[in-house]
Structure 1
Amino acid sequence: MTVLSICIPTRNRQVYAMSAVRYMLACDRQDFEIILADNSDDAAPLAQFAADCNDQRLKLLPPEDQVLSMRANWERIIPESSAEWVSYIGDDDYLDPKLCEVIRVTRKVVPNVDAMTWGRLYFTWPDVRTGPELTKMPSGSHLVGIKKDDMMRKLFFWEKASDRPMCAFGVYHGAVKRSLMEDIRTTFNNEYFGHPIVDYDNICRTLMVAKGLVYFERPMSVFGACKESNTMGLRDEKVAEKLFKVFRNEMDKELEAANFPFPMELGLTAQIGHVIEAFKQEQGIEITAWEENFIKACARNCETHYSRKAFEARKSGYRQAIKEWRGKKALALFEPKFKYRPDIPPFIGFHNNELSFDMDIGGAESAAEYYNILGNMMFPIELLEGRL
């Protein structure tokens, strides 16, 4: 039985997708499949790659006659998959097929589980680093049952948010049971994904329908950032502007929520705010007492900048939007501080159950290599059932 469908939508970043797939197929497990949805301008590279792999676990969806939106490319994958569980990653990311074993063990102890997530790893591909970069690796390895009400507050009320809601239960770098994805489709307009920003849209939908949530502390995947990735837009304003222009040109649905005057270009917090507000408006959900937490998250979004100029520009933009949205009094809640201190050496070591270290550890050249190196430092998946 196929336990897991690993879904990889890609557009004109074939070399990164090939790297991830090649390492996944090196795994000797036979209970997973990879669905590679190619939305590239040139179909030849991935077609040749799939032919060379000659592995029944890999299924390639070729480009269609015209370029698909990101949402449409994600949407077409699930009907072509066959596994009991579904997980999506980016083409410059990596996911461990041993997640199948985690799912098997989890079902034994939490029979009603239908949505899972896990610890996070982050990898900036070497060709875009401008110098040494530090990263963190969670050290835990327990399966933790999560209360749905807690996640609802974290997502829709922005409770204890950083620059984004602290809720990661969705199909992107998470796993959702196929039956739950079908419930999402039938519940919400016959679509798996309803907003152009697909990851947070799916979190909203998953959380509304899910019955059993489980968090695995150990990382099972890597968020990659290559030079063409959307993540690079968080680092470089010029890159962000270019990427967002392309995204707008190719999207097939409305991006902004009504009566929410935060320009998408302001940053991640504004973008996620639009996704959640659009979902609430679409479903007729009316809640109060979330605005203060959101405004504080806007301040934290400003504080992610290392450049004083970029910090001030974003601060000014958010101030204007908040004033228009909730009036001048609301600005009392918006107090971002420029926190970057290049004179203070970054911390390397173990703190709060996380290990901080140089991302160049082991000289990894790809997200897959990076995961395999760090995998030698993490709890062995094969021992998970024995410790429960």
Structure 2
Amino acid sequence: MTRLTICIPTRNRQSYAMDAVRHMLASKREDFEILVADNSDDAAPLAEFVAERNDSRLRLLPPESKPLSMQDNWERMPQHARGEWLSIIGDDDYLDPELCEALRVTSERVPNADAFTWGRSYFVWPEVRPNREITRIPTGSHLIHMEKKELMKKMFFWVDAKDRPACPFGIYHGALKKELLDRIRDAFSNRYFEHPNADYDSICKTVMMADMCIYWERPLSVFGACKASNTAGLRDPNVGLERLKTVRGENEGGLEAEDFPFPIELGITASVGHTMEWFKQRYGIELNGWEEGFIKACAGDCESQNDRTRFEAKKAGYAAAIKEWRGAQALKQFNPTYKYRPDVPKFMGHAEGHLNFDMGIGNAQTAAEFYNLLDGMLFPVRLLQSRLAD
């Protein structure tokens, strides 16, 4: 039985996808497959790579006659997947095939679980990390049932949000049962993914449709950020504008919700806000009382900046949008402060259930190499069954 399909959509970043695949195929597990959806201009590199590997666990969807938008490239993967569960990662990310073991144990303990996710870990590839950086990983190993009511608050009411909703359930760096994905498709316009911000499109729909959401504190994947990634745009505003221009060209508009005057160019909070408003408008979902949480997240987006000029520009942009959106009275809830202190060393060590350490540890050069380092630090996946034994 194929328990898990790991989906990797890629466009003109074949070398990154190949690195992730090589490391995943080193696993001795036979209950997973890797499905690469190639959207590149040149089909040859990945086609040759897959042929050379000659591994039945690896399959390729070749490029179509013309380049697809990101959500359209994602859209074609579930229908070709053989796994009971599906997960999508970026080509510069990494996912441990031992996720299969976590899914097996979870399914035994919670048979109706249909959405599963795990703790977050992040790796900035050395090519876009000129200076020393501190990363942070959770060190717990509890399996936790997340109540749907609480997830709705976190997602749609921005409860506990810093600069984006604190709700990790979706297909991107999460795992959804194929049966749940098909219900999502049937409920929402006969598509798995609609909005160009496909990962948050997925989270919205997962929170609405999932029956049982299980969270494991231990990281099982790495969010990578290479020089060609959209994530790199969060670190460099000029790169961000270039990436956004590309997305607009692929979608001929369709990014913004109506009557939501927050330019997407402002940052991650504005971008996610448009995705969620678009989703609610499209499906007639009316909610009240979420505005304050969103405004606080706008402040959090400002406070994440380590450059005073960028901070002030974001602050002014969000303030103008908030005033136009909800009036001057709403600005009383918007109080960002510039917090970056280059003279104060960043904390390293264990605190609040997280380990903070130098991202350059072990001289890892790729997301897969970085995960291998983390894997040696954290609770062994293979012991999950015995830990939960009655």
TM range (shorter): over 0.9
CA distance in 2, matches of 1:118, 1:37: 24
CA distance in 2, matches of 1:188, 1:234: 30
User: 1:70, 1:251 within 8 Å by CA — same for their partners in 2?
Assistant: no
Residue 61 of structure 1 aligns to which amino acid in structure 2? L
Q: TM-score, normalised by structure 1?
A: 0.99
- When structure 1 is superposed on structure 2, of 176-185 and 39-48 the one drifting more is 39-48
- Give the distance between the partners of 2:99 and 2:268, measured in 1 at CA: 29
Give the structure 1 partner of residue 300 of structure 2.
300
| Residue-by-residue CA offset, 1:157-198 (whole Å, 9 max, x unaligned) | 111111001101000000000000000000000000011100
Secondary structure of the 1:289 match is: coil
Give how far 1:128 is off. 1.1
Q: Report if aligned partners of 1:93, 1:224 keep a CA contact under 8 Å in 2.
A: yes
Structure 1 residue 253: deviation in Å? 6.3
Instruction: Say yes or no: does 1:127 pair with 2:127.
Output: yes
SS of residue paired to 2:377? coil
Deviations 1:244-273 (A, max 9, x none): 101111126611111101001100000100
Q: Distance in 2 between matches of 1:354 and 1:192?
A: 34
Would you say the 8 A contact 1:36–1:60 is kept in 2? Answer: yes
**2:203 aligns to what?**
203
**Gap regions ≥5 residues in structure 2:** none
The answer (yes or no) to whether the contact 1:154–1:166 under 8 Å persists in 2 is: yes
Choose 86-95 or 281-290, whichever is displaced more: 281-290
Question: Per the alignment, in what secondary structure is the counterpart of residue 172 of structure 1?
Answer: coil
Aligned to 1:185: 185
* Match of residue 176 from structure 1: 176
Matches within 5 A, 1:351-370: 351-370=351-370
CA shift, 1:83, in A, is 0.6
Distance 2:255 2:131 in 1: 35
User: 1:139 touches 1:217 (CA, 8 Å); kept in 2?
Assistant: yes
For the residue of structure 1 that corresponds to 2:183, the secondary structure is: helix
**How far apart are 1:52 and its partner, in Å?**
1.0
1:315 is matched with 315
Q: Secondary structure at the residue paired with 2:254?
A: coil
Secondary structure, aligned partner of 1:34: strand
Equivalent positions of 1:1-388 (< 5 A) are 1-251=1-251, 254-388=254-388
What secondary structure does 1:166 align onto?
coil
Aligned partners of 1:160, 1:257: CA distance in 2, in Å?
23
State how far apart, in whole Å, the 2-side matches of 1:214 and 1:242 are. Answer: 37
CA contact (8 A) 1:141 1:217 kept: yes
Instruction: Give the letter for the 1:167 counterpart.
Output: C
SS at 1:168 equivalent: coil
Deviations 1:7-49 (A, max 9, x none): 0000011110000000000000000000100001111111111
Aligned-residue offset at 1:142: 1.1
- Please provide the CA RMSD for this pair: 0.7
- Structure 2 vs 1, CA of residues 72 and 252 (structure 1 numbering), >3 Å: closer, same or farther? farther
Q: Does the residue aligned with 1:376 lie in a helix, a strand or coil?
A: helix
Asked whether the equivalents of residues 196 and 252 of structure 1 are also in contact (C-alpha less than 8 Å), the reply is: no
TM-score, length of structure 2 as denominator length: 0.99
Comparing 242-251 with 252-261, greater Cα deviation is found at: 252-261
Residue type at the aligned position of 2:232:
M
Percent identity (aligned): 59
Question: Quick check: 1:69–1:252 contact (8 Å CA) kept in 2?
Answer: no
Q: How far did residue 130 of structure 1 move?
A: 1.2
- Regions of 4+ moved over 4 Å: none
Letter in 2 for 1:70: M
Q: What code does the residue aligned with 1:88 have?
A: I
Q: Which amino acid aligns with 1:246?
A: T
Q: Are 1:7 and 1:34, in contact at CA under 8 Å, matched by a contact in 2? A: yes
SS of corresponding position for 1:9: strand
C-alpha distance after superposition, 1:258-311 (max 9, x if no partner): 110100110000010011111111111111111011001001001111110111
**For 2:91 and 2:100, how far apart are their aligned partners in 1?**
20
d(CA) in 2 for partners of 1:280, 1:245: 25
Any conservation in 2 of the 1:6–1:34 contact (CA below 8 Å)? yes
Shift of 1:109: 1.1
Change (3 A) 1:66 1:51: same
